[in-house]
Structure 1
Amino acid sequence: MGATEFEGILDLEIVERWWKKVEDVMNLVSCTLEKRLNYVVSLFMRNALIWWRSVKRGYEPREITWAEFQKEFDDKYRPKMYRDKKRTKLLNLVQGDDQTVAEYELRFATLAKYAPKAVATQEDCCYHFEHGLLSEIRKGLAVRITNFKILFE
C-alpha cells in the first residue's frame, strides 16, 4: 500500500511516478497537511535526504509548511522548464479523433496541475477544457458551462 523510498534521482519520469504513488497513499489514508510532510520526508534516502536537510536548515528556526515544501521539491525535481512544457501542452491540448472524452479529461487533469494559473477558477478550467474538445462535441454545448464537473458529465 505504501509508496517506495525516493533517492533523489533527477529523472522526471521516476519523480512523477513516485509522486503520484505518494499522493495516492496520502489521499487514501486522508493524510492531513501536517502529516504529509513527515510522511514524504520519511521516504527520502541518499541524495533526497541530503537535499531535504539542506532545505530544512534554510527555514530554521521555524518549520517549513507543506506548500513551501512542494515548491522546494518542484524547483529541485520538477524544473521550471519541465513545468513550462507541461503548461504549454495543456494550453494546446485538443481531443484526438480516436480519443474519448474521458481519455481527454484524464490527460487534461494530468497536465492541469502544471498550469494552476490557467485553471485557477472553474470558469477558466471549463474554457480550456471545452476549447480542446472535438468541434462536433463543442457545438453540442449550446450553453456556456462554467462548472468543470458539470461540463465533463
Structure 2
Amino acid sequence: MAPSAFKGATSSQEAKAWMDEMEKAFRAMECTDEDKIIFAIYMLQDRTHYWWKSVERTLAHEHEPVTLAEVLHSLLLQVFSSSRLRELEREFLNLSQGTMTVNEYEAEFDRLSRFAPTLIMDAEFRMRRFEEGLKPHLRRGFAAVHSVNYDDLIDKAKNLKIVWKET
C-alpha cells in the first residue's frame, strides 16, 4: 500500500490528499477500526508525531479509548483553523442535491463529510443525512424502501433518478 508518512502540511489540500491515501490503504487492507488508528498514528512523522503525542495525552485524560474520528478531527484542527473547520461542518450539514446529479451530490457529500467525522460515525445517521439532502422527488421514493447501508442507498438513489427521467 505504501502511503507516504505525514510530516505536516503547508495546505489543506496536502493534508486531505494524505487522508485520502490512508483511507484507500485502509479499504484495501480491510483494516479494523483499531488497526486504522494504529496505522494512521504510525504514519505521523517528525513534528506531527510530537504533536500527536501531546494530543494523545490530552485525550487520555478526557476519556478512555481514542477513536479514528478523534485522530482525524485532531489532525484537521491542526491543519485548519477551528473556525474554518466549523464552516466546513456547517456546509456539510446544509448540503443538498439542488441542481447536482446524484453522482455529483455523492462526491460533494463524501468530500464535505471528511470535515465532520464525528457527525457521520454512525452509519444510520450518514445514510439519513444523505437521503435528507436529495431532491424531494427522490426522497419520496425512499419512503417505501429501506436501505441496508450507505452504498445501497447511493445505488437506490441513482436508480430512482433513472426511473424519474423515464417517467
**TM-score higher than 0.5 here?**
yes
Match of 2:143 in 1: 143
TM-score (norm 1): 0.68
Give the percent of matched residue pairs that are identical in Structure 1 and Structure 2.
Answer: 21
Shift of 1:88: 1.9
1:32 is matched with 32
- Structure 1 position 16, deviation (Å): 1.0
Query: How big is the shift at 1:75?
Result: 3.4
Residues 133 and 56 (structure 1), Cα distance of their counterparts in 2 relative to 1, 3 Å cut = closer
State the AA in 1 paired with 2:112.
Answer: L
Q: Secondary structure at the match of 2:49?
A: helix
- Contact 1:112 1:119 (8 Å CA) reproduced: no
Alignment check: 8 A CA contact 1:90 1:115 kept: no
| Pair 1:55–1:110, CA change in 2 (3 A) | same
Q: From the superposition, tell whether residues 138 and 35 of structure 1 become closer, same or farther in structure 2 (CA, over 3 Å).
A: closer
Residue 7 in structure 1 maps to residue 33 in structure 2: no
Aligned-residue CA RMSD (Å): 3.6
Q: Which residue of 1 aligns with 2:112?
A: 111
Structure 1 residues 103 and 55, CA gap change in structure 2 (3 angstroms) = same
Structure 2: runs of 5 or more not aligned = 160-167
**Letter of the structure 1 residue corresponding to residue 40 of structure 2:** V
Distance change in 2, residues 1:10/1:32 (3 Å): same
Q: Could you tell me how far 1:120 is from its partner in structure 2?
A: 5.2
Cα 1:120–1:5 change in 2 (3 A) is closer
Separation of aligned partners in 1, 2:141 and 2:44: 47
Instruction: Provide the aligned length of Structure 1 versus Structure 2.
Output: 149
Identify the residue that residue 73 of structure 1 maps to in structure 2.
75
- Structure 2 Cα separation of the partners of residues 133 and 84 of structure 1: 23
For 2:92, the equivalent position in structure 1 comes to 90
Asked if the contact 2:72–2:117 (Cα under 8 Å) also holds between the matched residues in 1, the reply is: no
**Residues 129/145 of structure 1: CA separation in 2 closer, same or farther (3 Å cut):** farther
Return closer, same or farther for 1:144/1:93 CA change in 2, 3 Å cut-off: farther
1:15-64, Cα deviation, whole Å (9 max, x unpaired): 1110111121022102233332332233222211221233345548xx96
Unpaired runs of 5+ residues, structure 1, are none
Name the structure where helix makes up a greater proportion of residues: 2
- Looking at structure 1, the residues matched to 117 and 11 of structure 2 have their Cα atoms a distance apart, in angstroms, of 21
Runs of 4+, deviation exceeding 6 Å:
none
